[in-house]
């Protein structure tokens, strides 16, 4: 190459590097992310800034490929950039060109290009750690776990960070047989490389993933005895203790170690979530407050702090945190939904509607729209709410089923059963296979004392989804209370109970069937379990009647009283009490 040509390409590369910033990536080829940064987990320092890339002399064809690749990048044609860089790397076999091509392939998530470049890189530089890591990742994606661990073992032999723990964490997404295979491969490698903390930790993690928490705990014991400050293993031990049912030990372990390692965000978050699960809400709030003070720019921690404060009955603190999230543009949908709830519970209807209506996407969109619509209806603006839902349905035909269901439920909430039935029937003309719409119409038919039509809808659901426990139970219950077909009703409810044995609604149905058959003692067993799981007024009616007929009249009155405390005007419960006692004033 002439000196002037070399100068030209150098200048062009210097100019185009900034133009390609969006495709160069971070240089991190592990892609096996753990929620806690490596430096936080293992005390590894931050990577130094990369040295400037130096390019060798190239043949004219390779030079042309590189120049056209950089120009394509400036024009946003990253696909052309990648193809040309891949060809230039293959032609030149230059390590710097291969490295840059690899970054582009990673930023574009091109597995095929990464695989080709990794193979080329290892052919040029067999011990290159970056190429070995990419090869390991690509082997995992091809489900070649043995090859992946082979590459990782080469990294280990060179004293590099082989990311065994990251691969082990990925195993949660693998089929069970591959999880077992990976565990066996790790154990074989551990026998060749004894006293390797990352390997021992990874084996314990795999044992957890494969449902062996006790074995995982035993694996961690010698590791923590030798490395008492190995924080990933400390976190895993807390998780395993909790999974093994040793709740007190898990909480004590994490309490001690979050104070030993106050900067470990993952450990503190795990501890806070465990406290929530155990109903220790004030302790959980204190923990998330501590984390927020240490990591004020972490929106996930701030959101957790807000939600636990809300559960703790501190809406002003929750509001402050949620407002800050919305102002900073973090978790805006979720934050706006909960801000709406705060205003809603405070009786500030207009503000609540405003927050709910500001949620425009995500998991909280439909709940927000539903609640905003209900509030509009309670303010005498039902037509406005309905028009809004219908406009959204027209504008979003791909989500029309959800908007139909919202409209049906809104009408039901307002007691407009005939209108809800008409809307539901119209919706089913467009979406005859929609189970939720058909189930809603079936329940409407039953409420409107048209059990035959309800039965038709429920049987159609069951024909399309034979293991739909909810529909089976509803059909059985309707037959039990509306017809004399007890034997047929029992068959549906027994099947539902087999599919969902702990569902309180199905337990109640089964108990009521047995009661009507005169089997009082078995009925009481089912009804007491239903009441314990879901103390609903209708369950109270059934359970109380069974108790009354068994001679436990005082206990029956206690159950009825608790049911009336939830809904003093519940029709079925009031009718039951009056029929049995002659006194509706319980």
pLDDT tens for the chain, residues 1 to 586: 433 333 333 333 433 333 333 333 333 333 323 333 343 333 323 333 444 544 456 788 888 898 888 898 888 898 899 999 999 999 999 999 999 999 999 999 999 999 999 999 999 999 898 899 899 888 888 888 888 888 888 888 888 777 788 878 888 888 888 889 889 988 988 888 888 888 899 999 999 999 999 999 999 999 999 999 999 999 999 999 999 999 999 999 999 999 999 999 999 999 999 999 999 999 999 999 999 999 999 999 999 999 999 999 999 999 999 999 999 999 999 999 999 999 999 999 999 999 999 999 999 999 999 999 999 999 999 999 999 999 999 999 999 999 999 999 999 999 999 999 999 999 999 999 999 999 999 999 999 999 999 999 999 999 999 999 999 999 999 999 898 899 999 999 999 999 999 999 999 999 999 999 999 999 999 999 999 999 999 999 999 999 999 999 999 999 999 999 988 889 999 999 999 987 755 5
Contacts of 354 (CB under 8 A, 6+ apart): 340
In a domain, 550, yes or no: yes
Q: How far apart are CA 586 and CA 566, in angstroms?
A: 13
Residue 521 domain flag: no
Q: Are 332 and 360 in contact (CB under 8 A)?
A: no
Q: Are 318 and 307 in contact (CB under 8 A)?
A: yes
Residue 560 lies in a domain: yes
Q: What is the DSSP string of 462-505?
A: HHH-TT-HHHHHHHHHHHHHHSS-HHHHHHHHHHHHHHSTT-HH
**Is residue 473 in a domain?**
no
User: How far is residue 192's CA from residue 437's CA, in Å, rounded to a whole number?
Assistant: 60
Total domains present in the chain: 1
Residue 554 lies in a domain: yes
Q: Residue 214: inside a domain, yes or no?
A: no
CA distance 437 to 451: 17
> How many other β-carbons are positioned within 10 Å of the β-carbon of residue 375?
20
> Which structural domain range is residue 560 located in?
535-586
Give how far Cα 446 sits from Cα of 474, 478, 558, Å: 10, 8, 30
Specify whether the CB–CB gap between 81 and 23 falls below 8 A: yes
Whether 493 is in a domain gets the answer: no
Q: Which residues are CB-contacts of 575 (< 8 A; sequence separation ≥ 6)?
A: 541
What residues have CB less than 8 Å from 312, skipping those under 6 apart? 281, 282, 285
Chain-centre distance of CA 533, in angstroms?
A: 25
Q: Is residue 580 part of a domain?
A: yes
């Amino acid at each position: 190459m002439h000196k002037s040509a070399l100068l030209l390409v150098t200048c062009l590369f210097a100019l185009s590097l900034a133009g390609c910033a969006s495709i160069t990536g971070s240089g991190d080829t592990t892609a096996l992310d753990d929620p806690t940064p490596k430096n936080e987990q293992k005390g590894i320092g931050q990577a130094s800034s990369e040295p400037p890339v130096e390019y060798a002399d190239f043949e004219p064809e390779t030079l042309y490929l590189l120049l056209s690749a950089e120009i394509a990048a400036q024009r946003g044609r990253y696909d052309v950039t990648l193809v040309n860089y891949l060809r230039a790397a293959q032609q030149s076999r230059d390590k710097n060109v291969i490295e840059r091509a690899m970054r582009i392939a990673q930023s574009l998530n091109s597995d095929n290009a990464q695989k080709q470049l990794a193979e080329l890189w290892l052919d040029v530089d067999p011990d290159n750690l970056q190429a070995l890591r990419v090869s390991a990742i690509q082997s995992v994606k091809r489900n070649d776990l043995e090859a992946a661990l082979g590459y990782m073992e080469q990294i280990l032999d060179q004293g590099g960070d082989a990311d065994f723990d990251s691969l082990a964490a990925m195993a949660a997404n693998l089929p069970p047989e591959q999880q077992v295979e990976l565990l066996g491969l790790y154990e074989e490698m551990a026998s060749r490389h004894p006293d390797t903390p990352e390997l021992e930790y990874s084996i314990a993690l795999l044992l957890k993933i494969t449902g062996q928490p006790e074995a995982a705990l035993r694996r961690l014991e010698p590791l923590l005895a030798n490395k008492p400050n190995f924080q990933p293993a400390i976190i895993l031990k807390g998780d395993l203790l909790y999974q093994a049912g040793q709740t007190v030990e898990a909480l004590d372990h994490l309490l001690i170690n979050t104070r030993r390692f106050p900067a470990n965000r993952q450990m503190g978050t795990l501890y806070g979530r465990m406290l929530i699960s155990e109903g220790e809400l004030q302790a959980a709030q204190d923990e998330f407050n501590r984390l927020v003070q240490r990591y004020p720019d972490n929106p996930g921690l701030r959101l957790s702090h807000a939600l636990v404060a809300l559960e703790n009955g501190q809406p002003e603190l929750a509001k402050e945190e949620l407002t800050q999230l919305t102002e900073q543009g973090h978790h805006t949908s979720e934050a706006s939904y909960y801000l709406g709830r705060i205003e809603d519970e405070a009786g500030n209807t207009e503000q609540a509607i405003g927050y709910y209506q500001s949620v425009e996407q995500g998991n909280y969109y439909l709940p927000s729209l539903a609640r905003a619509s209900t509030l509009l209806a309670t303010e005498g603006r039902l037509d406005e709410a309905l028009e809004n839902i219908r406009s959204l349905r027209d504008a979003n035909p791909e989500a029309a089923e959800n908007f139909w269901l919202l409209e049906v439920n809104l009408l039901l909430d307002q007691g407009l059963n005939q209108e809800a039935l008409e809307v539901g029937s119209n919706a089913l003309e467009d979406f005859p296979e929609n189970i939720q719409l058909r189930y809603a119409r079936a329940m409407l038919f039953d409420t409107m004392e048209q059990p035959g039509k309800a039965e038709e809808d429920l049987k159609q659901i069951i024909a399309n989804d034979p293991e739909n426990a909810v529909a089976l139970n509803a059909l059985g219950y309707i037959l039990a209370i509306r017809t004399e077909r007890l034997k047929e009703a029992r068959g549906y409810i027994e099947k539902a109970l087999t599919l969902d044995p702990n569902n309180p609604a199905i337990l109640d149905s089964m108990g009521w069937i047995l009661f009507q058959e005169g089997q009082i003692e078995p009925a009481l067993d089912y009804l007491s379990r239903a009441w314990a799981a879901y103390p609903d007024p209708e369950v109270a009616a059934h359970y109380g009647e069974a108790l009354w007929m068994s001679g436990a009249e005082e206990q029956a009155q206690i159950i009825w009283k608790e049911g009336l405390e939830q809904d003093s005007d519940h029709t079925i419960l009031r009718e039951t009490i009056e029929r049995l006692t002659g006194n509706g004033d319980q």
